[in-house]
Amino acid sequence: MNRYPLWKNLLILGVILASLLLAWPNLYSQDPSIEITAARGAEVTEASVGEVRAALENAGVPVKGIEVREGGKLLIRFAASSDQLKGQEAIERSLSARYRTALTLSADLPGWMRAIGLKPMNLGLDLRGGIHVVIDVDMDAALDQALERNLGDVRTQLRDKKIRYQTVTREGARILIKFNDAESRDAGAKALSREFQDLTVQTSQDGDQYLVQASLPETEQQKIKDFALEQNITTLRNRVNALGIAEPSIARQGERRIVVQLPGAQDPGRLKEILGATATLEYRLVDTEGSVADAVAGRVPVGSKLYYERDGKPILLKRRVIVTGDQITDASAGFDGQSGSPAVFVNLDGQGARRMRDVTTENVGKPMAVVFIENRTTTETVDSKPVKTTRKVEEVFSVATIREPFGSRFQTTGLDSSNEAHNTALLLRSGALAAPIQIVEERTIGPSLGQDNIDQGLFSVLIGLGLVVIFMGIYYRVFGMIANLVLLLNLVMIVAVLGALGATLTMPGIAGMVLTIGMAVDANVLIFERIREEIRIGNSPQASIAAGYNKALSSIIDANVTTLIAAVMLFSFGTGPVKGFAVTLTIGLLTSMFTAITCSRAAINLLYGNKRLKTLPV
Amino acid sequence: MIAIKLPNLDFLSQRYRALVFSGVIIGVSLLSLAVLGLNRGLDFTGGTLIEVGYKAPMDLAEVRTALSEGGFGNVMVQQFGTTRDVLLRIPPVGEVNDAELSQRVLHALNEAAPDQVELRRVEFVGPQVGKELAEQSGLAVLFSVIGILIYVAMRFEWRFSVGAVVATLHDAIVTLGVFSLLQIDFDLNVLAAVLTVIGYSLNDTIVLFDRVRENFRKVRKGTVLEIMNQSVNETMSRTIITAGTVFLVVVALYLFGGESLRGFSLALIIGVVSGTYSTIYIASAAAVMLGVSRADLLRTPKEAEADGRP
């Protein structure tokens, strides 16, 4: 007799019910929607619903429904994504002063389902449309900046300590300090290693020159890189939030990359405009002693560098950087309390404030400049072929006189208009990137292609499933129908697990599902063929069932483990879409072992386990 | 009961003929890979790909004119799926990342046919990223083969694992060979398919070897060749049915899954056919030729019993 103990049957039943429940939300339609939140100083209330509805009616945009969500949000559902775009336009036009809109995709779930936290699978960008970009952070530039900052500090420190040195220069990734004699060198090295704990200080001698080399140790470099990446992510998040996308995802990828995903976004141009302004800022003192004319002719004074202002006027600035953009914590436009003229208020972090105070105290009455550094890609035609070069553009965009020493918060006046103040503040704030960035990969999927992908994907799943179901039913009869049943259960479980893990379904993911359908029946084919063999050699039906399952087990496990190895490798080395494929394949392999071995056995046991049989419908 | 009635065929007597046949196919595949190479897709070469949909069927010549007027002479234009969908490919220029290129191209197309063009897809891969993807993919293939080899070597005798790996490499090379000969785009999705083929082909081979091992222990009479043949015949109906169902679904995927999965499903179709053939003719033949004997498998029955497996 073939029987499972009660607990085993109950466990299987429990798993099946849980899977059905978890997979349930996927049956509801995912509506293109607009999420509305209140702008600063406004509120979303019941009255807002009427307002929004009226605005949409005026514009002639059909609405599927409006819901008030917790957290002061409104959700407007549309039947088509074209309505969604028109709707956003209408709301922006008439109500943009008080409300912010964001495009999203929202499943039309009943309230109780949302209350217990059930969610449908996330659809990947290739299925719902959207933009995926990978951004590379220029780590060399980040390290360069850190070294430059240290270079200036080293000079100051030696001067403060009254240690005589010949020169302080940069050689590649090291700071090289030359001394006249061993005594001052050792004093210098001692002072530096005490003051600069994040620098490695080494002494050496070359002829009659006494040298100290300072460099950033590996751990410190790593810290700087990590910081640059984190800082960039934060800044990007602020910039991207301005785009009006409901669930932007900005995540670190590896050592120096950032992945930005904007589901539902449809205009990569706007994103690039925002990302394209990859800028850093530097505050520097103006060199008032050196001759600008000499510098233009090529004789730049030591310790200074030639820059140009926006109108093309040359200007000499000190090489030493006072504060860089990443030390600016906030910048806002306003009006000067005394004169009432437009001003920009800048906040610095602790380290930046200290340096700013030190420098401004020494230099009251002297001019200070803000340098704006941008990475620009230009196209030039060489030999009738376009050649693209990335160029670093450095521009002085404001020069102001230091009136008094200032610290963590200061204001810049002398701006032409409040508009200019506003733009400057914006630049200062969003320009606070620690290192230049560049887009190295982009994948944009238009909404119509996304919909096509879903339709075609679902269709091929259904066709594949249908063919297999028909074949199995004809070939293995009742046992075949049991195989079909567990195959369907397998699909439900894949969907349930994907939803529960919060994994994302992509087009290759659908392909993985289709493939799983084909491979999942293999386990049942192995078992059923074994059962047939056992019957052929004259064993009783009950014994054949047991032997079939037992003997096929080792083959099934071996076969699945090998495919699993390939899937795991795909997951660990693959990116984006390939990962999606690997995830569904892996989940599919695991669930198929459960359904094809355990669940099919349970069904067969329940049907035939207690009967005296002469033949088996296999 | 419907069952495929299969005569008891002497598969292994054909092993030299099969070897010549496979040798020729592998030779052609390798030659093609060496001479023509793979038509590496955007993922590996870097560059820009733009898919646009027109409202009405569009003449490619018009698109080309629009592009060359906009100053994009180096764009490859082709139809994609329907006459309304057009695919543009722009090769990478040196080591430069130009993410804005797609915007300018779209602008040029919009100028030529206002309100007609809809952006369906943009893929831009920087040259550095392309190199990295190619490298990582190579590693993925290498490590899966090594991982699978180790697993098979642990579960079976070494001659079997060599046989399994030879059969698997056979399928991978044939699949790549077809892609090379027909110069079909080889992108990340196809690579994923090739890895799946590797997994599938092994799956098939292992089921056969499992049976061979079992028969060596059970059947006391008979030569190595006879037992091998018997095992191939016993697993034959399963091999055909599984290959058949997988074949059905990948053909469904090929026909109805849309353009973006065509390369992927084609690789699987080739892999399934080749995998079934190689399981029968290559894997077991290789093990026989390496001189596998009953003693090799009987040495470790305890271990197998300890596993609780027959």
CATH tag, A6-24+447-608: 1.20.1640.10
Q: Look at A567 and B199 and tell me if their CB atoms are within 8 Å.
A: yes
CATH tag, A29-108: 3.30.70.260
- Among residues A309, A354, A348, A334, the alpha carbon closest in space to that of A413 is found at A334
The answer to whether domain A29-108 and domain A140-220 are alike in fold is yes
- Among residues A529, A299, A284, A268, the alpha carbon closest in space to that of A397 is found at A284
pLDDT at B305: 44
- Among residues A105, A282, A563, the alpha carbon closest in space to that of B201 is found at A563
Q: Look at A532 and B256 and tell me if their CB atoms are within 8 Å.
A: no
Specify the DSSP element, H or E, that contains A282: strand A279-286
List the single residue in B with minimal CA-CA distance to A456: B257
| Cα–Cα distances in angstroms (integers) from residue A312 to residues A306, A307, A398, A424, in the given order | 12, 9, 13, 19
Mean pLDDT per block of 10 residues along chain B (310 residues) reads 69 86 95 92 87 87 86 84 86 72 83 83 87 84 81 82 86 94 89 83 86 85 86 89 90 88 91 91 84 68 44
> Cα–Cα distance between A584 and A572 in angstroms, integer?
14
Q: Which two tokens stand for residue A256?
A: 């120096």
Suggest the residue from A134, A262, A460 to mutate for an interface test with chain B (most B CBs closer than 10 A).
A460
Q: Look at B123 and A443 and tell me if their CB atoms are within 8 Å.
A: yes
Q: Look at A460 and B51 and tell me if their CB atoms are within 8 Å.
A: no
> Cα–Cα distance between A61 and B244 in angstroms, integer?
50
Q: Which of A385, A525, A565 sits opposite B151 (nearest CB)?
A: A565
Question: Phi and psi dihedrals of A539, rounded to 5?
Answer: -80, 155
Question: Phi and psi dihedrals of A24, rounded to 5?
Answer: -50, -50
- Domain B11-39+129-298: give its CATH superfamily: Multidrug efflux transporter AcrB transmembrane domain (1.20.1640.10)
Q: Does pTM top 0.90 for this prediction? A: no
The one-letter amino acid at B214: E
User: Which parts of chain A sit beneath pLDDT 70?
Assistant: 1, 39-42, 96-97, 238-239, 241-244, 270, 273-280, 310, 329-330, 374-391, 393, 414-416, 419-420, 422-434, 575-577
Q: Look at B100 and A276 and tell me if their CB atoms are within 8 Å.
A: yes
Q: Which of B207, B246, B307 sits opposite A519 (nearest CB)?
A: B246
What are the residue boundaries of the structural domains of chain A, listed by start?
6-24+447-608, 29-108, 140-220, 279-432
What are the residue boundaries of the structural domains of chain B, listed by start?
11-39+129-298, 47-125
Residues 6+ apart with CB under 8 A from B275: B167, B171, B197, B200, B201, B204, B243
> CB of A395 within 8 A of CB of A307?
yes
> Cα–Cα distance between B259 and A449 in angstroms, integer?
11
Q: Would you call A581 exposed, middle or buried from its count of C-beta atoms within 10 A (0-12, 13-18, 19+)?
A: buried
Rounded to a whole number of angstroms, the distance from the CA of A521 to the nearest CA of chain B is 7
pLDDT at A380: 47
Cβ under 8 Å to B: A residues 420-479 = 438-446, 448-449, 452-453, 456-457, 459-460, 463-465, 467-468, 471-472, 474-475, 477
Q: Look at A377 and B96 and tell me if their CB atoms are within 8 Å.
A: yes
Secondary structure (DSSP) of B233-260:
HHHHHHHHHHHHHHHHHHHHHHHHS-GG
pLDDT at A54: 87
Q: Look at B94 and A377 and tell me if their CB atoms are within 8 Å.
A: no
Query: Do the interacting molecules here have an ipTM over 0.90?
Result: no
- Among residues B111, B258, B50, B122, the alpha carbon closest in space to that of A266 is found at B122
Q: Is A542 on the interface with B (CB under 8 A)?
A: no
Residues 6+ apart with CB under 8 A from B307: A554
The one-letter amino acid at A59: A
Secondary structure (DSSP) of A257-277:
EEEEEEET---HHHHHHHHH-
> Cα–Cα distance between A198 and A15 in angstroms, integer?
55
Q: Are strands A209-215 and B82-90 parallel, antiparallel or unpaired?
A: unpaired
DSSP code at position A369: E
List the single residue in B with minimal CA-CA distance to A518: B246
* CATH architecture group of domain A140-220: 2-Layer Sandwich (3.30)
Suggest the residue from B248, B300, B305 to mutate for an interface test with chain A (most A CBs closer than 10 A).
B248
Rounded to a whole number of angstroms, the distance from the CA of A573 to the nearest CA of chain B is 6
> Cα–Cα distance between B287 and A341 in angstroms, integer?
89
Suggest the residue from B196, B214, B239, B272 to mutate for an interface test with chain A (most A CBs closer than 10 A).
B196
Query: What CATH class is the domain A279-432?
Result: alpha beta
pLDDT at A207: 81
Q: Which two tokens stand for residue B13?
A: 């007597």
pLDDT at A106: 84
> Cα–Cα distance between A71 and A37 in angstroms, integer?
9
Q: Look at A521 and B245 and tell me if their CB atoms are within 8 Å.
A: yes
Rounded to a whole number of angstroms, the distance from the CA of B35 to the nearest CA of chain A is 28
SS3 state at A408: coil
Q: Which two tokens stand for residue B290?
A: 């390496």
Report how far Cα A397 is from the mean position of its chain's Cα atoms: 31
Q: Which of B136, B155, B246 sits opposite A558 (nearest CB)?
A: B155
Q: Look at A515 and B196 and tell me if their CB atoms are within 8 Å.
A: yes
Query: Which tens digits make up the pLDDT trace of A532-583?
Result: 999 988 899 999 999 999 999 988 888 888 888 888 888 887 766 678 888 8
| Cα–Cα distances in angstroms (integers) from residue A243 to residues A36, A74, A101, in the given order | 14, 18, 10
Question: Phi and psi dihedrals of A333, rounded to 5?
Answer: -95, 150
Residues 6+ apart with CB under 8 A from A422: A333
pLDDT at A156: 75
pLDDT at B255: 92
CATH tag, B47-125: 3.30.70.3400
pLDDT at B97: 67
Query: Which tens digits make up the pLDDT trace of A480-536?
Result: 999 999 999 999 999 999 988 888 888 888 888 877 887 788 899 999 999 999 998
List the single residue in B with minimal CA-CA distance to A572: B140
Please list every residue in chain B whose beta carbon sits closer than 8 Å to the beta carbon of residue A571.
none
Report how far Cα B43 is from the mean position of its chain's Cα atoms: 17
